[in-house]
Amino acid sequence: SVGVDNQKFCLQEVLDTFKLCLSENKEVYLEHYVAGWRGLVKFLNSLGSVFGFISKDAVNKIQILVTFLNGENGSQYVTVQSMVKYELDNQLVDLTKRGSYPESGCRTLLRLHRALRWLELFLERLRTSTEDSKTSAMCSESYNESLAQHHPWAIRKASGLAFCMLPGRPAFFEVMNVGPPEQVVAMLGEALPLISEVYQITEDLYAQHNLLDLP
Ligand code: 1Q0
């Protein structure tokens, strides 16, 4: 793609931040997790304003987590593991119904975590797609298998409409700014196992503490 913008979006860089997420003992660094989402939101914004309601919500959740990270108890939020322990030990999480802590780190991260499953499914479809595959179909299939189960009707409807506005596979690959399709496929093949690992570690942690249905 042509462009003089030296801050051009590059998906490789975004997916690389997910590599930085895992510590040696397989804890998930919140700082890099959030940075990964920031990059994805930038990508989403470059696709057009119909995705604004999605990126707005993502930005809002990113901001909540960043505020914890930079707050006076920031050291408790270094990893997802330490955040869960800290918030649970100090009763900072609404466990069954919304109450005093509607924006806990645990419930906020859970929303992004569910979206990460969507990303994993979508990227896997993109990776194995052929030239005539429809991005909108790949996107909505991935959505229906993941996030949709947690969204009310109105949001599912709005999401479905937005997906129809996704550019076709060639344009989509172009915006990713990785190179020719074969290179995109190779990059996805490298990135996916890492995203899956981050997802699985978080999923196991949340399951262990019974946090998968936080209101
Ligand atoms: C490429 C198309 C992107 C499609 C993104 C799929 C996700 C659809 C999600 C729709 C969210 C609607 C807005 C509000 C939802 C909230 O109600 C909900 C629950 O939160 P709460 O506080 O009400 O309980 N929020 C969520 O479920 C969080 C949703 C976060 C979505 C984050 C999407 C970030 C952008 C991703 C673009 C990735 C493009 C990657 C393509 C890479 C190409 C190789």
Q: Ligand 1: which of 14, 44, 50, 143 to mutate, judged by most atoms within 8 Å of the beta carbon? A: 44
Residue 177 CA, ligand 1 centroid: distance in Å: 21
Å from CA of 147 to ligand 1 middle: 8
ipTM score above 0.90? yes
Give alpha helix (H) positions in the chain.
Answer: 11-20, 30-45, 52-70, 80-89, 105-127, 135-145, 153-163, 169-176, 181-208
pLDDT given at position 3:
39
pLDDT digits (tens, 9 = 90+) for 16-48: 899 999 999 999 999 999 999 999 999 999 888
Write out residues with Cβ below 6 Å of ligand 1: 11, 40-41, 43-44, 53-54, 57-58, 111, 114-115, 118, 123, 126, 139, 143, 147, 155, 159, 166, 176
All residues at 6 or more sequence positions from 6 whose CB lies less than 8 Å from its CB, including other chains: none
pLDDT of residue 2: 42
What integer best gives the mean pLDDT of the chain? 93
Q: What percent of the chain has pLDDT over 70?
A: 96
Domains in the chain, start-ordered, CATH in brackets? Answer: 11-208 (1.10.3520.10)
